[in-house]
Structure 1
Amino acid sequence: MSGDIELDTLRLLIALVDAGSITAAARTRGISQPAASARIREFEARWQLSVVRRSPRGATLTTDGQAVVAWAREVLDSVDTMRAAMGALSQSRSANLHVAASLTLAEHLVPRWLGELHASRPACRPVLQVVNSESVAEAVRSGAVELGFVESRSLPAGLASRTVGRDRLVVVVARSHPWARRKAPLEVAELTAARWVLREAGSGTRGTFEAALGHEPRVALEATSTTALLGAVMAGVGPAVVSELSIRGELETGRLVAVPHPLDLRRPLRGVWRADQRLSAPARDLLAIALR
């Protein structure tokens, strides 16, 4: 006598009691009557018990069969409770999607993506962390978030990525700045000599500008938000480099002026995740939305 108890056979025996016959029980369980009879005989042989009494008038449970069914009801109640609890636990885990995004993406693109995700997965409750690109990459690497969105040309080792869009940085100044009347592109020497209003070190915007300029720029003011940065530019603190996604309104109203320059300030927008981990279904869906 060996082997595990077949839960399907226990359910068949309960169905026999509830339905009144092996044929009806087999129909309830979605199998044929011969298959149901064979399963019961196999159970009896394995456990050396007689659980069903067969007669021309039908099949009924023996005393041992009644005991088995009583135990089976308790066992299957526990199994069903455990299955439901595990399903709820799994659903809860998948519902909480932790995402990090750099400021430009978080302000202009990620909210729309999350809205589309909510439409297809209303039970999903994303948690969005807004930090600079360097911090996004670190959050993904540490496992604090599952999926990140950054605006950097280079990525740390251990991260997989997909390009979800393109962006371009623009050099902007206040209307009162001497560069505002400039028609010809600025010289690199002029860019190098200027004192800039920039995002903090570690931001994708700052990194893209420094890479294009070829060295660390002179800084008049650092800002961790686009609103503060643009306010400082309009106040005349200095020129800035910002995403064109962030300044369309200011350029249209003339509050800021875009200045021509020779630098290549194009950059990819990327979704990033740990290369050694498979994305959950909600994270895969969000990435697919971003890729559209």
Structure 2
Amino acid sequence: MRFDLTDLKLFVHIAESGSITAGAQLAHLALPSASARVRGMEQALDVPLLQRGRRGAEPTEAGRALLHHARAIARQVNDMQADLAEFASGLKGRIRLLCNTSAMTEFLPDALAAFLAAHPQLGIDLEERLSRDIVQAVAEGAADIGIVSDAANAEALQTFAFRDDRLALVMARSHPLARQYRRRSSIRYADALAHDFIGLAGDSAFQQYAAGQASRLGLHMHCKIRLRSFEAVCRMAASGAGVALMPETAARRSADADRLLVLKLSDEWADRKLLICLRDLDALPRHARELVATLRRD
């Protein structure tokens, strides 16, 4: 049984894209060549690696086992190349870090800026995802470190405390809901969902999370407008355009804080804690362990 790096990288691309055609393009191979390589791997193992259908290709159980090892090998090769690249470009290593929206916007910028300033030869690939997807990616070796909400099931991973992340509802003090709750400090999420919301644009992980919590209550979150940042959401909320769900830290630091009423959510899921998650701290490259130590210390 002989697989080369091209075979393994091709299989990772196919599994992650869900398509042999897309995987071949990502691997810079012609489709017939890619298909032949996959058939060769299946013949060498005498077991199907992909389940092919009209919607694309998904790994079989054997394919998922191969994917796990292929990612591990690719990670080791990348680590080797990064270490050797130090002699040519000065870059010593690269860390793959996944995080949810709150960590991305509220807590990581200052911590990562200080870390990178102290480690000029390192690079960080930072990507925002839903907490449950981060846990899966870290478990599968697709990321070195993740930062997730404690609501995600990360029992199979090593976890460390990172930050408290309480969620709150924000609205203009002139908003009808604000007038109704001006003498209270908290509110149930369900009691606010009858009003128009201001949300985050695009495929924001936080927006998906907020909509998912509404669905669990059997209700719908109606977003009147979507914006790119919590700062912009605060400005729009201060104008009276609607209600916004966001980290309490983002609301408190807003330039429009004096014009906003910030109500804590009484729902249990809103009192979140963020966790650093990883597969094995001792198995991480030294520079990745140093980042974990910095995040835990901060």
1:189–1:197 CA distance, 2 compared to 1 (3 A): same
The CA deviation at 1:99 is: 1.4
Corresponding position of 2:15: none
Corresponding position of 1:250: 254
1:140–1:226 CA distance, 2 compared to 1 (3 A): farther
Corresponding position of 1:102: 100
Corresponding position of 1:178: 176
Supply the distance in 2 between the matched residues of 1:98 and 1:276 (Cα, whole angstroms): 14
The one-character-per-residue Cα deviations of 1:54-96 (angstroms, maximum 9, x if unpaired) are xxxxxxxxxxxxxxxxxxxxxxxxxxxxxxx999528689511
- Matched to 1:179, the amino acid is L
1:239–1:253 CA distance, 2 compared to 1 (3 A): closer
1:249–1:111 CA distance, 2 compared to 1 (3 A): closer
Are the equivalent residues in 1 in contact too, given 2:151–2:272 (CA < 8 A)? yes
Alignment of 1:135-154 (within 5 A): 135-154=133-152
Q: CA RMSD in A?
A: 3.8
Corresponding position of 1:123: 121
Larger-Rg structure = 1
The one-character-per-residue Cα deviations of 1:168-226 (angstroms, maximum 9, x if unpaired) are 11111123311223213546762354443445888357647966996254211166643
SS at match of 2:254: helix
The CA deviation at 1:167 is: 1.6
Supply the distance in 1 between the matched residues of 2:257 and 2:138 (Cα, whole angstroms): 38
Corresponding position of 1:268: 273
SS at match of 2:292: helix
SS at match of 1:269: strand
Are the equivalent residues in 1 in contact too, given 2:83–2:92 (CA < 8 A)? no
Corresponding position of 1:191: 192
Which stretches in structure 1 are left out of the alignment for 5+ residues?
Answer: 1-84
Corresponding position of 2:84: 89
Corresponding position of 2:70: none
SS at match of 1:254: helix
Are the equivalent residues in 2 in contact too, given 1:97–1:283 (CA < 8 A)? yes
Are the equivalent residues in 2 in contact too, given 1:133–1:150 (CA < 8 A)? yes
Are the equivalent residues in 1 in contact too, given 2:227–2:233 (CA < 8 A)? yes
The CA deviation at 1:286 is: 1.0
Corresponding position of 1:70: none
Supply the distance in 2 between the matched residues of 1:87 and 1:237 (Cα, whole angstroms): 49
Corresponding position of 2:22: none
> When the two structures are aligned, how many residues end up with a matched partner?
208
Corresponding position of 1:219: 221
- Matched to 1:118, the amino acid is L
Are the equivalent residues in 2 in contact too, given 1:179–1:259 (CA < 8 A)? no
* TM-score, length basis structure 2: 0.55
Supply the distance in 1 between the matched residues of 2:204 and 2:282 (Cα, whole angstroms): 25
Corresponding position of 1:19: none
The one-character-per-residue Cα deviations of 1:156-177 (angstroms, maximum 9, x if unpaired) are 5643321112121111112331
What is the percentage of aligned positions where both structures have the same residue? 23
Corresponding position of 1:290: 295
* TM-score, length basis structure 1: 0.56
Which stretches in structure 2 are left out of the alignment for 5+ residues?
Answer: 1-79
SS at match of 2:250: coil
Supply the distance in 2 between the matched residues of 1:216 and 1:290 (Cα, whole angstroms): 37
The CA deviation at 1:276 is: 9.7
The one-character-per-residue Cα deviations of 1:111-134 (angstroms, maximum 9, x if unpaired) are 222233234433212222234434
1:165–1:187 CA distance, 2 compared to 1 (3 A): closer
